[in-house]
Amino acid sequence: MAFRAFGALILTTALVVAAACGGGSPAGGGKVFFAEPKNGATVKSPVHIVFASDMFTIAPVPPGEIAPGAVRANTGHYHLGVDTDCLSVGTVIPKANPWVHFGKGDNTIEMQLTPGPHKLAVQAGDDRHATMTGLCEVINITVTE
Ligand SMILES: [Cu+2]
């Protein structure tokens, strides 16, 4: 994967922020990231967004209330944050703007965005929508229309 200098700077910043929020290596060594669009891309609205994961299991949220002890290890679902940063580790991701939950285990959306620069965050949440160490990525894109 080739990043432009600007993109690499942003990525480095995101990693520093992630480390400052939780530190350590991911419990499962996994990661989540944007398959599309690429960091630094110029795109049209609606923006075709695709998430991907590595060494982390994406699965629908089980129905009903999930007890803390019933949360599946190294398993969860995607969340998209628009114009926001990664949440710190252990935070329950709000079911409100700027976050969208993908609780069915889905990995794509056509997102309406206003023209101009936008920051997108993909962050995994567990069965209780809580964030985990290392499972977040931020990219910057520009929407032309
Ligand atoms: Cu969620």
Rounded-to-integer distance, Cα 111 and Cα 82, Å: 10
Ligand 1 centroid, distance to 48 Cα (angstroms): 20
Cβ contacts of 30 within 8 Å, gap of 6 or more: 53, 54, 55, 56, 74, 124, 134, 135
Q: How confident is the model at residue 104 (pLDDT cuts 50, 70, 90)?
A: very high
pLDDT at 27: 58
The arithmetic mean of pLDDT across residues 4-14, rounded, is: 45
Side-chain-side CA neighbours of residue 100 (13 Å) = 19
Number of domains in the chain: 1
Rounded-to-integer distance, Cα 46 and Cα 66, Å: 34
Residues with CB under 5 A from ligand 1 (ion): 101, 125, 129
Ligand 1 centroid, distance to 113 Cα (angstroms): 21
- Residues 121-133 have pLDDT tens digits of 999 999 999 999 9
| pLDDT for 21 beyond 60 | no
Residue 67 falls inside a structural domain: no
The arithmetic mean of pLDDT across residues 14-33, rounded, is: 58
Query: What ranges in the chain are assigned the alpha helix state H?
Result: 5-21
pTM: 0.81
The CATH number that applies at residue 79 is 2.60.40.10
Which residue range(s) make up the domain with 96?
A: 5-62+72-143
